[in-house]
Structure 1
Amino acid sequence: MDLDHARAVAVAAAEAAGALLVAGTRGALGTRAKGGSGDVVTELDLASEKLLVERVLTAFPAHSVIAEESGLLGAAGGEWTWLIDPLDGTNNVVIGLPAYVVGLALCRSGRPMLGVVHDPVSAQTWSAIRDRGAVTSSGVRLAPPHNPSPHGPLLAWTQGYSVSRSDTTAQAITHVLELRARRVLRLWAPLLSWAMLARGDIDGIVGYRAEAIDLPAGALIAREAGIEIRALDGGPFEDGFDGTPEDRSFVATHPSAMPGLLDLLRTRAAI
């Protein structure tokens, strides 16, 4: 498998989808409810997904695709599977907030080998191939520094759609983050949070039962930029799309900051 070719296809597809999204946000969105959690889907999600799926399957007809709106396309359990998030940040778009991205990951037997995130608003793209580092669209390697603040870390929080307001674990974690962190961002666009972490704009991400479709691309880019990712208890964390929602709870930060962030999260039991 030529991962450089796959990256070129994915970047071109993501940027084409991004152009579609930028143009589409200037008009009526055609919004409807999605599921019972208050989430929404727009005609832009569907149009972007159609473009991305067509680009990927034209280039790699033997691969499977799992897309945000369409689900599984092709046979399950194949060696190569693409994960496609055509509009990460739909709820932001609906309220007129320009904070959204396009994401693709290529996984081999469930393990991400390639990740691409494109921000249509800033016209920036970030990508990573496993064990080869993460880069910007201009080829600059991502390597965020560790610059701790005396006022606490700047963190992003993300949770899966299945997490209810009454979930006591989510309540305990967010409570301690609000008390101990300098700021807690809730961007409604997890892939954008991953890109910000890989760039060094924020200090960490705490995720609870994150969605499988967008986790692998962002986590791979962050890891290849030098970010460490652990389970909430400090154990190892796998960034694939298999497993249960509980397997997708994590802490991600610079390695030097990991002990402190894990200690911060452990205090939730005492608050």
Structure 2
Amino acid sequence: MNSSHPAPAFPVDLIEAGRVAAEAAEAAGDLLRARMAGPLDVHLKGTGVDVVTDLDLACEELILERIGGAFPGHLVISEEAGAVGAGDSGFTWLVDPLDGTNNVAIGMPVCAVGLALCEGPLPVLGVVHEPVSRRTWRAVRGEGAVGPDGTRLRLPDQPRPGRADKPVLAWIQGHDVGSDDAVAVPLKAMLERRGGRLLQLWAPLVAWVMLARGDIDGIVGYRPELIDLPAGALLAQEAGAELRALDGGPYRPSIELPPAERGFVAARPELLGRLLHTAEAALDPAAGVPVSR
């Protein structure tokens, strides 16, 4: 992605943008909920095991029409359609119309709809909607995160009982990560040995919401897909989670990050150091395995 971004041509009312995004995500959620139990038209994407359904495309069309109508000068990058719009305003929307397509395709309704608005390369607004529960979460950079009832979303002060020593974690990886990947295999194994449970939901936005609510204690991501990263990361950060790169350095969920630099650790503040130590132990530089690969 081009690293030069024009200055925004006009300010954006993030409250209004959040309303438009939430309404678009919820309308897509209504469509998903009504049709996900029925027969789906499923196709493979590329040469891998990832799939796309007619539901993805229908939800995407709905969201693109609403975002494009409300913000005609903004670039929109959507999972299936790619880049849409002129993009000369300095603002970019990222749209995941159905995060968890593979789950829905096999009859497991673990999924979400996600939108992020970025000013330049960084997210300033994130919206995540869960169709099954009909709940929506949103965050504005520097202004906090709110839950479905409009109350401030904050991580609990203490981990849930029994999880101080055995945290519940989620694992996120990109579609191009193979089963024999020299980084993913040892890192996942170490996380499983040192944690209480390691979830792989195949719906990253659901994992981000779970972290923001305090349902899980941390997330480790390796070469994650870009389309849902900014919305989820902003939501978790504004709820009180801390993020670092896999090597412990600063981490900003920029839309310009290439896959090799998107690896991260996100966690409750008191757990972050332990997870980074675990990542360091699993990815021993002396063994010649780079942290960012």
Alignment partner of 1:162 is 2:180: no
Q: Provide the residue aligned with 2:111 in structure 1.
A: 100
Specify the SS of the correspondent of 1:207. strand
Q: Provide the residue aligned with 1:192 in structure 2.
A: 206
Alpha-carbon distance in structure 1 between the residues aligned to 2:107 and 2:28: 18
Alpha-carbon distance in structure 2 between the residues aligned to 1:269 and 1:161: 21
Alpha-carbon distance in structure 1 between the residues aligned to 2:121 and 2:259: 15
Q: CA deviation at 1:243?
A: 2.1
Does structure 1 conserve the Cα–Cα contact (< 8 Å) formed by 2:168 and 2:216?
yes
Q: CA deviation at 1:150?
A: 4.8
With 67-76 and 184-193 compared, the bigger mean Cα shift is at 67-76
TM-score by length of structure 1 reads 0.97
Alignment partner of 1:243 is 2:254: no
Alignment partner of 1:46 is 2:60: no
TM-score by length of structure 2 reads 0.90
Unaligned runs of 5+ in 2: 1-11, 288-293
Does structure 2 conserve the Cα–Cα contact (< 8 Å) formed by 1:77 and 1:109?
no
Alignment partner of 1:22 is 2:22: no
- Structure 1 segment 59-70 matched on structure 2, within 5 A: 59-70=70-81
Q: Provide the residue aligned with 2:145 in structure 1.
A: 134
With 69-78 and 21-30 compared, the bigger mean Cα shift is at 69-78
Q: Which runs of 4+ in 1 moved over 3 A?
A: 75-78
Q: Provide the residue aligned with 1:213 in structure 2.
A: 227
Specify the SS of the correspondent of 1:51. helix
Alignment partner of 1:117 is 2:128: yes
Letter in 2 for 1:147: P
Alpha-carbon distance in structure 2 between the residues aligned to 1:233 and 1:24: 43
Alpha-carbon distance in structure 2 between the residues aligned to 1:269 and 1:101: 31
Alpha-carbon distance in structure 2 between the residues aligned to 1:206 and 1:51: 32
Does structure 1 conserve the Cα–Cα contact (< 8 Å) formed by 2:73 and 2:86?
no
Q: Provide the residue aligned with 2:269 in structure 1.
A: 255
Alpha-carbon distance in structure 1 between the residues aligned to 2:226 and 2:88: 15
When residues 77 and 236 of structure 1 are mapped into structure 2, their CA distance, relative to the original with a 3 A threshold, is farther
Alpha-carbon distance in structure 2 between the residues aligned to 1:86 and 1:66: 11
Letter in 1 for 2:195: A
Out of 21, 25, 48, the position equivalent to 1:10 is 21
Q: CA deviation at 1:234?
A: 0.8
When residues 197 and 150 of structure 1 are mapped into structure 2, their CA distance, relative to the original with a 3 A threshold, is closer
Letter in 2 for 1:209: R
Q: CA deviation at 1:77?
A: 6.7
Root mean square deviation of aligned Cα? 1.4
When residues 139 and 45 of structure 1 are mapped into structure 2, their CA distance, relative to the original with a 3 A threshold, is same
Give aligned-pair identity as a percent: 54
Out of 159, 164, 181, the position equivalent to 1:147 is 159
Q: CA deviation at 1:151?
A: 4.5
- In the alignment of these two chains, the number of paired residues is 271
Q: CA deviation at 1:165?
A: 2.0
Specify the SS of the correspondent of 1:168. coil
Q: Provide the residue aligned with 2:6 in structure 1.
A: none
Q: CA deviation at 1:269?
A: 4.3
Does structure 2 conserve the Cα–Cα contact (< 8 Å) formed by 1:88 and 1:190?
yes
Does structure 2 conserve the Cα–Cα contact (< 8 Å) formed by 1:78 and 1:109?
no
Q: CA deviation at 1:26?
A: 2.4
Alpha-carbon distance in structure 2 between the residues aligned to 1:10 and 1:76: 18
Specify the SS of the correspondent of 2:183. helix
Does structure 1 conserve the Cα–Cα contact (< 8 Å) formed by 2:75 and 2:87?
yes
